[in-house]
Every structure is written in structure tokens, then in C-alpha cells.
Amino acid sequence: MSSNSWNAAIAEDVIAALRDEPGPVLIALQAIQEKFGFVHEDALQMIADQFNVSRAEVFGVFTYYHDLKKVPHANNAVKICAAEACQAVGCDSLIAEAEKAGLEVEKAYCFGNCALGPAAMVGNRLIGRATLEKLK
Ligand code: FES
């Protein structure tokens, strides 16, 4: 469950609890996003300090993963896969239709549901052979 209220003390606890995890930078970024619904920019330095890596290294991981957000995103955002297999079956027109219908759309890059494209995600629900009607 995520909350969008940033709290540095809680973030410090979340990060410190991951001290002994392997690959802790990504895990810490994901934990912060899970806790707050986004990754506050102050968390980058906290993670760098905790795991003795540079802020640039943390920033590199943060920007590599499209699912990690700088700001809270709308709960009703629809993610639509825009990777190759879904492009081949019309994701571009689905994205255009969804935006025209007023949905907040985020492009994603492969949900591993390529055989049932275009694929979309609404909340935690994966939708195959997505249509505007299914997204609504
Ligand atoms: S390419 Fe769209 S789910 Fe894999």
C-alpha cells in the first residue's frame, strides 16, 4: 500500500532495513516507491549514503527503470505496452484512443504478455488484447 506523503524519517527506516539485501539500491528504490507512491529526490542521497555508492549511481538506476516515478502518479493511470510485439498489433492507436477518451496513459515496455497484445495494466491487473472498452 502506498501513500503519497513524503516523510524522510520513515524513508530512512525503509532504506536502513534493507542494509543486508543483495542489490540493495534497486530494492531500496522500489521500497521507497511502494511506501510513498513515488521516489522523492531526497531519497536518492539517502540510499547513496546508506549503501556507500554515489548519488549518480543511484540516479542511474532510478532513471533506468521506467516504473520508478519522481512524482506521485494518478491512481487511475493506465499503462499500455509500447514495445515491439504490441506495436505490431496496434498499441499506438490504442494509446491515441485512450488519450482522446481522457484516460491518463503511461507507456510501458513489455509486461511479458506479448502473445496477447496489445497489453495494458490497470492498477495491478494485466489486460490482454486490450481495447478502449476493456481499459474503461
Ligand atoms: S511487447 Fe507488449 S507485452 Fe511484451
Is a pLDDT exceeding 80 seen at residue 2? no
- Where do the domains of the chain lie? 8-64, 78-135
Q: What is the pTM assigned to this prediction?
A: 0.60
Quote the ligand 1 centre to 20 CA distance (angstroms).
Answer: 34
Is a pLDDT exceeding 60 seen at residue 84? yes
Quote the ligand 1 centre to 40 CA distance (angstroms).
Answer: 29
- Using an 8 Å Cβ cutoff, are 78 and 121 in contact? yes
Instruction: In whole angstroms, give the CA distance from residue 79 to residue 98.
Output: 10
Quote the ligand 1 centre to 97 CA distance (angstroms).
Answer: 18
Position 1 scores a pLDDT of: 46
- Using an 8 Å Cβ cutoff, are 69 and 39 in contact? yes
CATH code for the domain defined by 78-135: 3.40.30.10
Top mutation candidate among 66, 67, 80, 86 for ligand 1, by most atoms within 8 Å of CB: 86
Is a pLDDT exceeding 90 seen at residue 88? yes
More confident residue, 41 or 77: 41
Is a pLDDT exceeding 90 seen at residue 131? yes
